[in-house]
Structure 1
Amino acid sequence: MTPQDASRRAREICGMAPIVPVLVVNDASRARPLAEALVAGGLPALEVTLRTPAALEVIAEMAKVKGGVVGAGTLITPEDVRAAKDAGATFGVSPGATDALIDACEAMDLPLLAGAATATEAMKLLERGYDMLKFFPAEASGGAPALKAIGAPLPQVSFCPTGGVSPSNAMEYLSLSNVVCAGGSWVAPADLVASGDWAGIEALAREASTLGR
Structure 2
Amino acid sequence: MPTRREIAAFDDTPPPDGLSPWVSGSEDRHGDVAIAEPDPRWPKAFALIAGIVHDALGARALQIEHVGSTSVAGLPAKPVVDVDLIVADPDAEAGWLPPLLAAGFELRVREPWWQRHRLLKRWDPACNLHVFGPDASEPWRHRVFRDHLRRDAADRELYAAVKREAAAAANAHGETVTRYNERKEAAVRQIYARAFSAAGL
TM-score bin, normalised by smaller chain: under 0.3
TM-score (norm 1): 0.27
TM-score (norm 2): 0.28
